[in-house]
């Protein structure tokens, strides 16, 4: 998964420096984007995984938090005043040791973001596999009908070619092309049947393995 991004919304360089210095001690350091309150384009797009707000004037805090709320991304506010953050925002008091607390809380949030992203990828892959399985089941359902059609095409083309001397060259060539294409399709269907048998065998082996594991667990 791509490196996670944390946007630091502050008007105080030292505030951002305190955070980045503390985070350098972590094993997985995210990418940082520094944004000032007068540059909302840096954080209103939602192109980040976590926002940390602090070191800004009281009058600018409300609009900043409202903008961040619209991004639907998690927000941590390092508060110098109690009761300032809305309930959608995680508030941490700017007391001694706040960078350590911030790092701990942020780590849990980013881990959840990472897990949700991985879950989304797994769900997408599962949906693709389900689509492929549905296509496979459909092919199994129509295989018999296709075999009947191919048998008819091959039989009739062979009958026509028996009378090949009476056919003009171009027509004979066209019939031979039809027969050859039907033979190729027939070969594809045979391979498909072979694949089906292999899949059934693998399924049986898997069921036997699961049964043995279940028996061993109850022993």
pLDDT recorded at residue 82: 59
- 3-state DSSP assignment of residue 1: coil
Residues 6+ apart with CB under 8 A from 40: 64, 67
pLDDT category at 75 given cuts 50, 70, 90 is: very high
What pTM value is reported for the model?
0.57
pLDDT recorded at residue 217: 65
User: How far apart (Å, rounded) are the C-alpha atoms in residues 88 and 72?
Assistant: 10
Residue 183's alpha-carbon distances to 56, 142, 162, 187, in angstroms, are 76, 18, 17, 6
CB 77 within 8 A of CB 54: yes
Strand order in the sheet with 90-93: 31-35, 5-9, 50-53, 75-79, 90-93
Residues 6+ apart with CB under 8 A from 113: 4, 49, 50, 74
User: How far apart (Å, rounded) are the C-alpha atoms in residues 141 and 143?
Assistant: 6
SS3 content of the chain, % helix, strand, coil (to 5): 65, 10, 25
Choose between 163 and 59: higher pLDDT.
59
- Please provide residue 125's backbone torsions phi and psi, each rounded to the nearest 5 degrees: -65, -40
Q: What percentage of the chain exceeds 90 in pLDDT?
A: 14
pLDDT recorded at residue 8: 94
Tokens 């694949």 sit on residue: 195
Environment class of residue 56 by beta-carbon count within 10 Å: exposed (0-12), middle (13-18) or buried (19+)?
Answer: buried
pLDDT category at 126 given cuts 50, 70, 90 is: confident
CB atoms within 10 A of CB 86: 12
pLDDT recorded at residue 86: 65
């Amino acid at each position: 998964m791509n490196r996670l991004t944390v946007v630091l919304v502050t008007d105080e360089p030292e505030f951002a420096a305190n955070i980045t210095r503390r985070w350098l001690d972590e094993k997985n350091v995210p990418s940082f984007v520094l944004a000032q309150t007068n540059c909302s384009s840096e954080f209103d797009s939602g192109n980040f995984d976590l926002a940390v707000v602090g070191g800004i004037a009281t009058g600018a805090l409300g609009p900043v938090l409202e903008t961040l709320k619209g991004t639907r991304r998690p927000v941590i506010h390092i508060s110098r005043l109690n009761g300032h953050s809305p309930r959608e925002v995680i508030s941490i008091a700017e007391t001694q040791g706040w960078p350590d607390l911030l790092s701990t809380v942020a780590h849990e949030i980013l881990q959840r973001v990472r897990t949700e992203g991985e879950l989304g990828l797994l769900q997408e892959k599962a949906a693709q596999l389900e689509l492929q399985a549905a296509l496979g089941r459909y092919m199994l359902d129509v295989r018999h009908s296709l075999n009947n059609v191919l048998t008819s095409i091959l039989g009739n083309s062979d009958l026509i070619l028996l009378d090949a001397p009476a056919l003009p060259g171009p027509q004979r060539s066209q019939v031979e092309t039809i027969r050859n294409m039907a033979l190729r399709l027939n070969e594809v269907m045979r391979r498909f049947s072979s694949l089906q048998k292999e899949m059934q065998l693998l399924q049986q082996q898997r069921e036997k393995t699961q049964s043995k594991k279940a028996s061993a667990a109850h022993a």
